[in-house]
Amino acid sequence: MTMYRKPKPPRRASLGQPLDRVDGRLKVTGGARYAAEFAVPNVAHAVIVTSTIARGRVKSMDTSAAEKVPGVIRVFTPFSAPRLPGAPKPGPHPPSQNAGAAQGGGPQGRQRQGQGGQGPAARGALSMRVPTVLQDDGVRYNGQPIGLVVADTFEHAREAAYLVRVRYEYETAVIDWSTAALNKPEDVHPLGGERTVTRGDVAKGLAGAAVTVDHTYITPLENHNPMEVHSTLAQWEGDSLTLYESTQGITSVRNTVARHFGLTPDKVRVVAYFTGGGFGSKGGPWSHETLAAMAAREVERPVKLVLTRRQMFGPVGGRPRTEQRVTLGATSDGTLTAIRHHSKSTTSTIEDWVEPATSQTRMLYECPNVETQYDLVRVNVGTPTFMRAPGESTGTFALESAMDELAYALKMDPVALRLKNYAEKDPESGKPWSSKSLRECYASAATRFGWSRRTPEPRSMRDGRWLIGYGMATATYPARRAPAGAVARMMPNGTAWVRAGTQEIGCGTYTSMSQIAADALGIAPAHVRFELGSTDMPENPASTGSVTAASTGSAVHDVAVALRQKLVQLAISDPQSPLHGAIESDVRVVDGRLTAGGLLGKSDTFAALIVRNGDQPVEVTVASRPGADAQQYSMHSFGAVFTEVRVDPDLAIVRVPRIVTAHAVGRILNAKTARSQIVGGVVWGVGMALEEETLIDPRTGRYVNADLAEYHVPVNADIGTINTAFIEEPDEHVSTVGAKGVGEIGITGVAASIANAVYHATGKRVRELPIRLERLL
């Protein structure tokens, strides 16, 4: 996809400036093409048939009525679908909850490519799932894909899908997680980590504590609801496949679908110029990509498959339920002596997914004795997956709520308690921080919020009949960089063309990458044409885990610097250039014009260079990788969240009139888009604290509130003032451009800050999200 604007007058360096989105006009005028909007001739439409039981087998599927609907082309079932040579084979039987992986019937674990660590990017892009792509008759959750109808129109396909009649062999499903058996300890495998991590002696630390708190915190099952549902358009040309896909990871989709069909990756091209929100659910492939490709090959015409909103619940993941027990011990002056954080989360009977809710606990505060542990229970639901700040969003709710409880037990200011246990280096690894401005975050947010006006006793602040509460929490998220590539070309008209196989998921990647390239080249952003979103471009990581700014940004910077260097060398070696013979290090480039300090009044331009080069563009390709700093430093972003709530004492209505934040996330590439990321995360945090919960019928395993009418998310009326600020701290240990990433951290700490404010207002501690009326009455 080409993003280009006509040249404008030169301007000053743009990095960090609140440049308007270069793709904004396309989006508001309908010119931005999303996956389902590509115009492909002779396209057919597919609709998935989903199961209506939570566990068992499909005994038979009567498709006769469906096949009689006008326009129906083909109905696929587990009994008629072609066998895919590379699709992972599910076990011979939907795994029994009590059998477990040890008996051979358990989930096949996810296989990932990438580095170690605890976040989506470092955990690696999803490269394989155990798919439900009609390769067996097993049913493992209610809503699982068990059939596919292809017709000439979407309406015909949908009508026919409703007419498919399914007979099941029922088996007892496990829906209630409180009665589900724990996985054996040896079968709990957090991505990139260990089930149990211990340093020091926690029992001794607790025994020596003057004050302890020990409580359990619960977060519910939640589901992604991006504006754009998952969609795929599959088109074959011979044995080559093109997928127009709504995804955060074009490379992982390409690799997985190629493997399913027994193809080499070069035979599959994935295109995603725009993705209408993903938040983790589109971080890797699911069933629908393979189903669309399978159908397109069988009916010998392009096939478009768009999930319904209900099908967003189950088939494409969500945030699992967690039960987290946090025990803290401290001396009378607030010095932590011990931290124990045990987290139990749900997964499906298809895959083992562990929500990494304890990762921040091992590094956020200085403490000599720390123990974290994961446990896992399998229930008959869809497989969980990444959901904005996976682990840290749920984990900071538990840890930061516990820290607030400890502060009250000590009669100590919550900010002072955190500063008392401020970690000057990473307590887990012992490595120095690549940068850390958390003290400054506390100070900035507290001052702007007016924290000094807080009276410490619960129920001590009022505005008329409304109870007023102040709460705060710490925010954190790992900073990571992955290998990435880019290609840059200087064109005869003096504009630059830059490509990288990354994704635009709404964060402003087109804009920030244009700014990076422009500043590195010495030209205006309007003179940069940045392209992304296709696997025929240099490979980049999935847009997950806040890695795009650090990874793709570094690649774009490096390739632009390399192109600039090549052009400078071309100028000083060209006898026709006014800069011929100049020293390379003396050459400066501003607004596309090259000058050298020792050659007053003489200059050259990129456009003139290209003309003298026979009008042939000059091109450079770069593969950028993290350096040794990744092993030498601990890399994290930090922040502080301060919240005011108003609670009706009789009706327990909770309002959030204002939230004030400060974040230290490395260099800000674009002030406007960075602020949007934080605001979006905070809004989601309000939903996490007060509204979001996926409800499942305990009798059938059916997702009850699988639509935007019943799955509650914040609307404008729910959101008050969000005051954001950044502590500028360019961190070139993390990335060449100094950025750490800003997409995930905005949600972390928000739910705890709200819960802590609710306690301050009411004197009632709510340890289970969401904070509903009945939990306060």
Work out the number of other CB atoms within 10 angstroms of the CB of residue 204: 14
Amino acid at 68: K
From the list 399, 480, 380, 424, the residue with the least C-alpha distance to 51 is 380
In a 3-state reduction of DSSP, which class is residue 417? helix
From the list 144, 157, 167, the residue with the least C-alpha distance to 66 is 157
Give the CA radius of gyration of the chain.
27
Q: Kindly state the helix (H) or strand (E) to which residue 149 belongs, with its residue range.
A: strand 145-151
Amino acid at 565: Q
In a 3-state reduction of DSSP, which class is residue 572? helix
Tokens of 48: 């998935």
Question: Would you give the distance in Å from CA 497 to the centre of its chain?
Answer: 28
- The dihedral through the CA atoms of 72, 73, 78, 80 has a sign that is positive
* Tokens 């009139």, residue located: 657
Quick check: is 744 catalytic? yes
Close Cβ partners of 511 (under 8 Å, ≥ 6 residues apart): 19, 20, 21, 22, 23, 525, 670, 673
First to last CA, the chain: 54
Q: What secondary structure, in 3-state letters, does 529-555 show?
A: EEECCECCCCECCCCCCCCHHHHHHHH
Q: Kindly state the helix (H) or strand (E) to which residue 123 belongs, with its residue range.
A: helix 120-123
Query: To 10 degrees, the CA torsion angle through 696, 698, 700, 704?
Result: -30
Tokens of 775: 């939990």
* Tokens 């995360």, residue located: 681
Tokens of 459: 């129920």
| Catalytic-labelled residue, pool 159, 405, 504, 744 | 744
Helix-strand-coil split of the chain, %, nearest 5: 25, 25, 45
Task: Beginning with the edge strand found earlier in the chain, give each strand of the sheet holding 636-647 in spatial order.
Answer: 462-463, 466-478, 636-647, 654-664, 721-723
Which segments within 253-335 are labelled E, that is strand?
Answer: 268-271, 303-306, 322-330
Buried b / exposed e over 619-653, threshold 16 CB at 10 Å, is ebebebebeeebeebbbbbbbbbbbbbbbeeeebe
Task: Report CA-CA distances (Å) from 92 to 104, 136, 369.
Answer: 9, 9, 45
- Could you tell me if residue 559 is left (phi over 0), alpha (psi between -120 and 50 degrees) or otherwise beta? alpha
Tokens of 118: 């605890």
Close Cβ partners of 226 (under 8 Å, ≥ 6 residues apart): 276, 277, 278, 279, 281, 282
Measure the CA–CA gap between 725 and 46, rounded to whole angstroms.
Answer: 46
Measure the CA–CA gap between 66 and 72, rounded to whole angstroms.
Answer: 8
Structural contact between residues 491 and 610, judged by C-beta atoms closer than 8 angstroms: yes
Close Cβ partners of 355 (under 8 Å, ≥ 6 residues apart): 319, 320, 322, 343, 345, 384, 390, 391, 394
Task: Report CA-CA distances (Å) from 95 to 98, 350, 617, 688.
Answer: 8, 8, 59, 32
Measure the CA–CA gap between 654 and 176, rounded to whole angstroms.
Answer: 29
Catalytic residues: 744
